[in-house]
Structure 1
Amino acid sequence: MTYTALRKGEIRLLDGATGTELEKRGVPMSAGAWSGPASLEHSEVLEQVHRDYIAAGADIITANTYATSRALLELDGLGDKFDEINRASVRAALRARERGHRPDVMVAGSLSHRGPIAAASAQPDTNAAIGLDEMALALREQALLLRDEGCDLLLLEMMYDPHRMLLVFEAAAQTGLPVWAGFSARHDENGQVLGFGPDDDVPFEQILSVLDDWPVDVAGIMHTPANAVSDALEILRRTFDGPLMAYPDSGYFKSPHWQFEDVIEPPDLRRYAEAWIEEGAQVLGGCCGLSPEHIAALAPLKRTPISAHG
């Protein structure tokens, strides 16, 4: 089991991107809920994505639920299909685990505080913003459904908004499932590590203060450029003494499409990951822009003993 392995200091692999991998394989992306609706009309492609990650060596696969809250789906007129889309997302991952003959693989349900993104940009669409009360209700509903559909854990992704991320932690805590928290960071022009939010220069230490009130089982750095992960991990290690994870992105977003430009090569990702292991990371993977080839490049690292930082 993954938790036993982590307690022993072993390395485990998370999958790579789900949404951008669907787009790479020709699945259309939605203006409001991005990759979320794809779980219904393209479930076979989604299942194959999961199976390819399992074949590459992933120990944890992530259901396509990052952008499937009722609040986001309603932006595309799909609020009435919330149950159907989320169940299809989880069941595709469960089928992939069964058909991949890896019963030890864990299925993570993704939760986020994602709101609407303005077209052809990565900036929030303030005209269609989701209020805090609406988001809180939507997150609680989604978290409970992910639990009831059979997810083994909840993966809180792109945590960077000091206010909205509290709603995600609260919703996850109500399920009783293990909680893994992925925080997103960036460097400013002076090299300081900040929260990922493009409009708010919030010190990364302040973002991580949520862990004072909401304990999690695993915490890490995700959807962050590979060259910023080490600095962010160093700050996280001062706050959190549990297992650490690292899964960067590569490329950039112009809603509703990921731009697959200057994507890190798999051998280069592995070199970064070797350093992250030395810095204490035990769960390695990839986020937007990264594919099964990247996870396959990391697979040999599962045989690498973790350093004393673990």
Structure 2
Amino acid sequence: MPRASGPLAEALARRTVLLDGGLSNQLADQGCDLSGDLWTGRVLTERPGQVARAHAAYAGAGAEVLITASYQLGSAAPAELFARSVRLAAGAAEAAGHEVWVAASVGPYGAVLADGSEYRGRYGLGVRELAAFHRPRVEALLAAGPDVLALETIPDTVEAEALLGILAETGAPAWLSYTVAGGRTRAGQPLAEAFALAAASPQVIAVGVNCCDPEDVLPALEAAAGVTGMPLLAYPNDGSVWEAATRTWHAPGHPAPWPAEAWQEAGARLIGGCCRIGPAGIAALAARVSW
């Protein structure tokens, strides 16, 4: 069965595309209050102009894909809030002066719990329950017309299966990005098994990892390449560890430069940053890597 097509999928067949960086850290740097369970969703609700400003900062740094502020919105959030997240990113894309795509963020169930469980998975819910949670979120985002869905920071193959089932219903293009550690998903499943799920979904245009230690990226990409033959993606954080109880990041002792060129050689065609990677980091990445 042929895979989903579209301008972004066609671009990935030719070259590497630069993603943006972490939205939460950029909003914090702009002076926004991210306290409370909604996190970036709070800023989307109360100060949407700051979200537009953050998107513009990444586009100005060279990002070719802007990921919406819908990551932590739950299924009970108003449809208008999901639509707003897409409109704000689309507005920044239109003003960028270069081609920019909009990826609608579909964060994991654990992100809505706001207790760090997106880094553990195994919520005790089955495919049916997780699909019921995600379906209205996906539908609300698709109604706003993004270029692609970003199924991101997924810790568990059970949740991936639920999301891929929804994709099959909608036919929408998406990328699937796991958060990983030590050569496995955060829930402990083998990466080959996790990536094989994406390979079987014609709606998936790229697969890979995000919000993980940069050191975990290359082994994960190699595992994905071995079972998918698809364009890969990588947008790790800076190697810090999230402490949910205190809502703080514990910084790494000796962060190393990213071997982004090696990621490209392994098949990465979407490369960017996640938490604690700002516009300066994206601009530096743009200068180093052949796009």
Question: Quick check: TM above 0.5?
Answer: yes
Residues 48-197 of structure 1 correspond to what in structure 2 (within 5 A)? 48-70=53-75, 79=76, 81-102=77-98, 104-115=99-110, 116-118=113-115, 133-187=128-182, 193-197=183-187
Distance in 1 of aligned mates of 2:109 and 2:265: 32
Q: Which residue of 1 aligns with 2:12?
A: 6
1:242 and 2:230 matched? yes
* Residue 275 (structure 1) shift: 1.6
CA deviation profile, 1:200-235 (whole Å, cap 9, x unmatched): x32222322322542311111211111111111111
CA deviation profile, 1:83-118 (whole Å, cap 9, x unmatched): 23212211111111122233x211001113232143
Question: Across the two proteins, how many residue pairs are aligned to each other?
Answer: 280
1:211 and 2:198 matched? yes
Distance in 2 of aligned mates of 1:264 and 1:181: 29
Q: Which residue of 2 aligns with 1:254?
A: 243
* Residue 247 (structure 1) shift: 0.9
Distance in 2 of aligned mates of 1:235 and 1:119: 26
**CA 221–121 in structure 1, closer or farther in 2 if over 3 Å, else same:** closer
Distance in 2 of aligned mates of 1:287 and 1:44: 21
**CA 41–14 in structure 1, closer or farther in 2 if over 3 Å, else same:** same
Q: Give the secondary structure class of the aligned counterpart of 1:177.
A: coil
Q: Letter of the aligned partner of 2:168 in structure 1?
A: A
Range 117-126 or range 29-38, more displaced: 117-126
* Residue 182 (structure 1) shift: 0.8
Q: Which residue of 2 aligns with 1:28?
A: 33
Q: Which residue of 2 aligns with 1:74?
A: none
Give structure 2 stretches of 5+ with no counterpart. 1-6
Distance in 1 of aligned mates of 2:117 and 2:215: 25
Give structure 1 stretches of 5+ with no counterpart. 71-78, 188-192, 305-310
Contact 1:233 1:279 in 2 (8 A): yes
Q: Letter of the aligned partner of 2:283 in structure 1?
A: A
Give the TM-score normalised by structure 2.
Answer: 0.85
Distance in 2 of aligned mates of 1:57 and 1:264: 27
Give the TM-score normalised by structure 1.
Answer: 0.80
Q: Letter of the aligned partner of 1:58 in structure 2?
A: A
Q: Letter of the aligned partner of 1:232 in structure 2?
A: A
Q: Which residue of 1 aligns with 2:221?
A: 233
Distance in 2 of aligned mates of 1:301 and 1:89: 30
1:300 and 2:287 matched? yes
Contact 1:117 1:124 in 2 (8 A): no
